Structure 1
Amino acid sequence: MNGRIGYFFDTVLGRVTMYRLVTLSLGTLAIYAFVLSLFGQVFYKPLELLATLVTLLVVGYLTNRLFGALFQVRPHSESSIITSLLLFFILWPTSDPAALAWIALAATVGSASKYLLAIRGRHVFNPAALAALVSSVLASYVVLPGVSPSVWWVANPWLLPAVVVLGGLVLVRTRRLTMALVFIVLSWALVTVRLVVGGQDVGPALLAPLTSYPILFLAAFMLTEPLTLPPRRWQQLGEAAIVAVLFSIPFMLGQVASTPELALIVGNVLAFAVARRRGMRLTLEGTRTLTPTAVEYRFSSKRPVPFAAGQYLELSLPHRGADVRGSRRMFSISSPPDDDRTIRVAMRVPERASSFKRALSALPVGASLSATGVWGDFVLPKDQAKPVLLIAAGIGITPFASQLSRLHLRGEKRDIVLVYVVSDPQELAYAAELATWGTQVLVVGPSADAALPAGWRTLGPGRLDHERLAEAVPDLASREVFISGPPAMVDALKPALRGIGVGRVHTDAFSGY
């Protein structure tokens, strides 16, 4: 992905949270399905689609609020909308009153799962998949007109282009395209082989997995759902492969036959088992101003919060008047993991801040909020002899603050060079700490060497590219590189560095700050 494309996703998609983007994408897909229904390209009639969708949205929203009140948790309304929209494409659309009652039951199960089947504040299963599974299992024992198992009618050739485009936007925005591709390619290959072995011609067998199976939909909108993913990338790829096998090869679990939702549920269980994910309740202990536009928040936790230096967490702060960016945001942890009961995060706070950041800035000391989990692979190599280059732009310094402070606290000496890109020398967050830690820092920005801490050097203003890096860091090709900053910079630098022989380049791009 080149720099211009990265800039597009930073400035356009980056303004919308992942939850809102999924909501808008599924909503657009639903509208498109209604249009196709009007022209007879979808098996179900418009009235059936409308009755099913309204039932799911209304019941899902109300039951989510009901369970939130029962468990004394402020409900995440957008989550209920996403679950309802997912079920809309999975369950059999109907306008029959008895069947709509069954649809309402599925929506209730989806809402209940977020509270009744949650461990340490985190739900274990994808709510839509669990609701579809329960509905399908019960349907095999209940004989009522219009009641049927899940049908995944989204697997329709006419819906496929919209699923590809909208699902692709979600995957690029969430940067889980690789995980999705592992599932898609493996599922496509296994289903194709199974169809050919079963006697189908090769041509139709190659096309059928994409047009008659919900491979792309499941990958884009359900498999990569954040709250049910393990934290590390290799674990996510492993889950994608396991779910692909279970999705593609028929099996029986007791009396339950294999279905897409069952494959995903098994993947959720395995992910939860290896991830040791936990919800966290954090108490605000204080704040400090890092730069004219950046603030650090310090939280405490009664329970240890295990994390690796360089990982990030998602903060949840429901508030009135939430804007398009929503009530959940992800932030890199800036504190070292040595004190796992203290969590610090830093963020840029522009003049026109999001409603989330305004709500957070208004939070009094002693108030609490929740964090839904810790994720990320942006961690330094275990080999301490490996030379490293860190590249940070603005508030992208936060994961490096965690890593470098950890090394300082433990007395570890490593060959590390930090290139720090800022628009103004006053925006050098953690400058005093970096000087104390003895980090070798090269500053890209309008600043003279005399204005910098002792030992720091300026590379001058202008765009940072691989040529400037190679000149400033002569042994660049021998270093493992870590880049943290806006996607436009990350997406431009990564392929350029690979092109000049840098072996490993790790990225931690952020959007919507």
Structure 2
Amino acid sequence: MPTVKSRLNWTAEPWSGQEPLECAMVVPETPDTATFTFRAPSGAWFDYQPGQFVTLDLPVDPKKGAGGNVQRTYTISSSPSRPLSISVTVKAQPGSIGTRWMLDHLKPGMRIKAFGPAGIFSFHRHPARKHLFISAGSGITPMMSMTTWAWDSGEMPDIVFVHAARRPSDLIFRERLEQFANRVPGLQLRFTVEEPDPFRAWPGYHGRLSQIMLGLMAPDYLEREVFCCGPEPFMQAVREMLVSLGYDMEHYHQESFGAPVSTEAEAPVIEDIAPEEGAGAEISFTGPGAGSGVSLRCAETDTVLAVARRAGLNIPSGCTFGLCGTCRTRKVSGEVHMVHNGGISDEDIEEGWILACCSNPLGKVVVEV
């Protein structure tokens, strides 16, 4: 039987992208998600940082479905601590072209051209004693690469791994991560889902990730280096949560679903709108009640509920931290910054409803009472 040494070409150089990759294995993960493992035909090994990405040149025409090539970038889900192969885990989204082609047509033995690896999203670039990984959907892939590296390093990790998915059956790498966590207490898994699978008990967290949930999952989050990956709305919600909780955003790092970057200079500037300390605002109240026509100047850091109370107006409230939904009221005009804990739906927000207890006015705002 071949030994590990006989399988290695000790004279081989690291893979440089000059030769195509050969698909060695395809492993289904969840519905519409699979892991593709590649090897270099020459025996070259793979050298990269956990969390980086690779670009694949896929033979699919974006208009006709065949006859051309498209380039798609995927985060590497394997770890450089296992250098004989390299893997990407892909999930088809509505309208997917390259990923759909991979799931339908890419088989073991086929060869495709690839570029990279590249990217700046890696905990090797930001050494820390404690880490907090936060991901959603296929944003789990760089976290899996970094976690595998931590496992293979032989040192006890200190990682809180938070992952959000639609259902438990959509949790990519769940069994592998649980196998890791069963062996090292320093890896703590925290899964949350929007809804359970039918006829399957779900003992984990349920609902969108919130400030309260994050505090329960990682009570010492202020001490951890945070790495986040997922759809932009998800990452924006995470950023807003951390800012409102007083986290030092110098220790926050993210990778985008759509546009991974190769250098620090290419990294987009994050310009989230948030209440500015010392900035002025004004809230006007309208409606059939006695408070209609009342306007008060305030600070952007004030909440709508606090300003209403200062004006002697009654907006019913309960928890005062965006969970119960009692203070739900309609915003007529203007913009607010709202970081809630699940007390309002996305549909209500689109229709103009806010939670007064956790909404800060940005400039002039009109609210019904």
Do they superpose with TM above 0.5?
A: yes
Match of 1:332 among 75, 97, 104: 75
Q: Is the contact between residue 23 and residue 110 of structure 2 (CA under 8 Å) also seen in structure 1? A: yes
- SS class of match (2:82): coil
Q: CA deviation at 1:348?
A: 0.8
1:82-93 correspondence runs (5 A): none
Q: State whether structure 2 residue 258 is matched by structure 1 residue 511.
A: yes
Q: In 1, Cα distance between the equivalents of 2:126 and 2:237? A: 27
Gapped regions of structure 1 (runs ≥ 5): 1-275
1:291 is matched with which residue?
30
Identity over aligned residues, as a percent?
27
Task: Tell me the CA shift for residue 410 of structure 1.
Answer: 2.3
Contact 2:192 2:204 in 1 (8 A): yes
Deviation at 1:496, TM superposition (A): 3.4
Structure 2 partner of 1:500? 245
How far apart are 1:491 and its partner, in Å? Answer: 2.2
Query: How many pairs does the alignment contain?
Result: 230
In 1, the alpha carbon distance for the partners of 2:64 and 2:232 equals 22
The counterpart of 1:458, out of the listed 204, 219, 222, is 204
Contact 1:477–1:502 under 8 Å retained in 2: yes
- Judging changes above 3 Å, is the alpha-carbon distance between structure 1 residues 338 and 293 closer, same or farther for their aligned structure 2 residues? same
1:487, CA displacement in angstroms? 1.0
1:468 aligns with 2:209: no
Compared with structure 1, are the counterparts of its residues 388 and 365 closer, same or farther at alpha carbon in structure 2 (3 Å cutoff)? same
- 1:381 CA displacement: 4.9
Cα deviation, 1:279-328, whole Å, max 9, x if unaligned, reads: 45210112111011211111111322311111111111132454799701
Contact 2:35 2:87 in 1 (8 A): yes
1:9 alignment partner in structure 2: none
| Greater helix fraction, Structure 1 or Structure 2 | 1
- Indicate whether 1:378 and 2:124 are aligned: no
Cross-structure match for 1:357: 99
Asked whether the 8 Å contact 1:298–1:342 carries over to 2, the reply is yes
- Correspondence 1:197-276 to 2 at 5 A: none
Out of 158, 162, 167, the residue aligned to residue 419 of structure 1 is: 162
Deviation at 1:472, TM superposition (A): 3.0
Partner of 1:444 in structure 2?
192
Which residue, 47, 55, 59 being the options, matches 1:318? 59
Q: Which has the higher contact order (CA 8 A, sep 6+)?
A: 1
Which residue pairs with 2:274 in the alignment?
none
TM-score by length of 2: 0.57
2:135–2:230 CA contact under 8 A, matched in 1: yes
Alpha-carbon distance between aligned partners in 2 of 1:307 and 1:473, rounded to the nearest angstrom = 29
Provide structure 2 residue ranges, at least 5 long, that are not aligned to the other structure.
Answer: 1-14, 182-186, 260-369
Per the alignment, do residues 409 and 313 of structure 1 end up closer, same or farther by CA in structure 2, a change over 3 Å counting? Answer: same
Q: 1:333 to 1:475 in 2, by over 3 A?
A: same
Distance 1:496 1:420 in 2: 15
Residues of 2 paired with 1:451 and 1:405: CA distance? Answer: 28
**Any idea what SS the aligned residue of 1:444 has?**
strand
The Cα shift of 1:377 comes to 1.7
- Aligned-partner Cα distance in 2 for 1:326–1:384: 38
Equivalent AA in structure 2 for residue 397 of structure 1: I
- Distance in 2 separating the partners of 1:356 and 1:381: 30
Q: 1:364: how far off?
A: 3.1
1:171-225 Cα shifts (integer Å, max 9, x gaps):
xxxxxxxxxxxxxxxxxxxxxxxxxxxxxxxxxxxxxxxxxxxxxxxxxxxxxxx
Q: How high is the TM-score relative to the length of structure 1?
A: 0.41
- Cα offset, 1:458, TM superposition: 2.0
Partner of 1:478: 223
Report the Cα distance in structure 2 between the residues aligned to 1:359 and 1:307, rounded to whole angstroms: 26
Q: Is 1:309 aligned to 2:50, yes or no?
A: yes
